[in-house]
Amino acid sequence: QVQLVQSGAEVKKPGDSVKVSCKASGYTFTSQGISWVRQAPGQGLEWMGWISPYNGNRNYAQKFQGRVTMTTDTPTSTVYLEVRSLRSDDTAVYYCARVPYGSGSWFDPWGQGTLVTVSS
């Protein structure tokens, strides 16, 4: 079955960087995109951006441009999200989700989530 498995929880200090992984299985990795969505504690969902494992094209939400990088590793069917210059308000659960090309908000399935805690 289609599955996205994310890396484990992280604790970082303000100013640090974090890199979260999302390993896909059960489908042809390059046939669909991957989006990242985050959820701060007790808050709603926030779209961060999208990457195409087929050609590496990326589209980041304006809020995160310059501070976020999404990359793919096709041999391992893994997508990475790096967030730099972490602040306390970056504390959130970060989710990856598969997205059909051309269907920007069709997220299915989702990874289990990775909690990133930013604290001094």
Partner 1 sequence: QSVLTQPPSASGTPGQRVTISCSGGRSNIGGNSVYWYQQLPGTAPRLLIYKNNQRPSGVPDRFSGSKSGTSASLAISGLRSEDEADYYCAAWDDSLNGGVFGGGTKLTVL
> Which positions lie near partner 1, rule CB under 8 A?
35, 37, 44-47, 49-50, 59, 61-62, 95, 103-113
Shortest distance (Å) from residue 99 CB to partner 1 = 9
Those residues whose C-beta lies under 8 Å from the C-beta of residue 64, and which sit 6 or more positions away, are 48, 49, 83
Indicate the helix (H) or strand (E) that contains 44. none
In the complex with partner 1, the residue whose CB is nearer, 47 or 80, is 47
What DSSP assignment string belongs to 54-119?
Answer: TT--EEE-GGGTTTEEEEEEGGGTEEEEEE-S--GGG-EEEEEEEE-TT-TT---SB---EEEEE-
In the complex with partner 1, the residue whose CB is nearer, 35 or 78, is 35
| Inter-CA distances, 10 with 2, 31, 91, 105, 107, Å | 25, 30, 10, 27, 24
Shortest distance (Å) from residue 54 CB to partner 1 = 19
In the complex with partner 1, the residue whose CB is nearer, 29 or 36, is 36
In the complex with partner 1, the residue whose CB is nearer, 62 or 120, is 62
Shortest distance (Å) from residue 3 CB to partner 1 = 12
Shortest distance (Å) from residue 14 CB to partner 1 = 25
